[in-house]
Amino acid sequence: MHHVVEKKTYYIVSAWLMLLLVLTVAAAQRDLGAANVPIALAIAIAKAILIVLFFMHVRYGSPLVRLFAAGGFFWLLIMLGFILADVQARFSGW
């Protein structure tokens, strides 16, 4: 009736999450200039995607569930995007 994910899959995903944690700490200790923030965010997004797809079973879910899962983050991007664009444009002289 439901997809039962192999234990091995969970262990591999977990190992990747730990690896990405080590990576984000290591990257933060180096001065990469403007690249520090995008790298930290990219790693966080990669971790979130792994959790959503495997632990939260979206990879095995129906198209409707995938749409709902993506929807929340899509609205978040709209909110963040417009707020940051506004801040940048309105106070660019600061």
Partner 1 sequence: MTTEAHVAHHFDDAEQQYAAANLGMWLFLATEVLFFGGLFAGYAQYRYWYPTEFAAGSRRLDPTLGAINTAVLLTSSLTMALAVRAAQTNDRRGTVRLLALTIVLGSVFLGVKAYEYYHKYDENLIPGRSFSLSTGHGDSGDLTTLDSSRGVAEAREIDEGPVQIFLSFYFAMTGLHAAHMVIGIGLLGALLAAARRGAFSSDYFTPVEMTGLYWHFVDIVWVFLFPLLYLIR
Instruction: State the residues that interact with partner 1 by CB under 8 A.
Output: 1-2, 4-5, 7, 10-11, 13-14, 17-18, 21, 24-25, 28, 31, 36, 40-41, 43-44, 47-48, 51-52, 54-57, 61-62, 64-65, 68-69, 71-73, 75-76, 79-80, 83-84, 87-88, 91, 94
Q: Min. distance of Cβ 70 from partner 1 in angstroms?
A: 9
- Cα 71 to Cα 65: distance, rounded to the nearest angstrom: 10
CB 84 within 8 A of CB 41: no
57: left (phi over 0), alpha (psi -120 to 50) or beta: left
- Cα 17 to Cα 81: distance, rounded to the nearest angstrom: 27
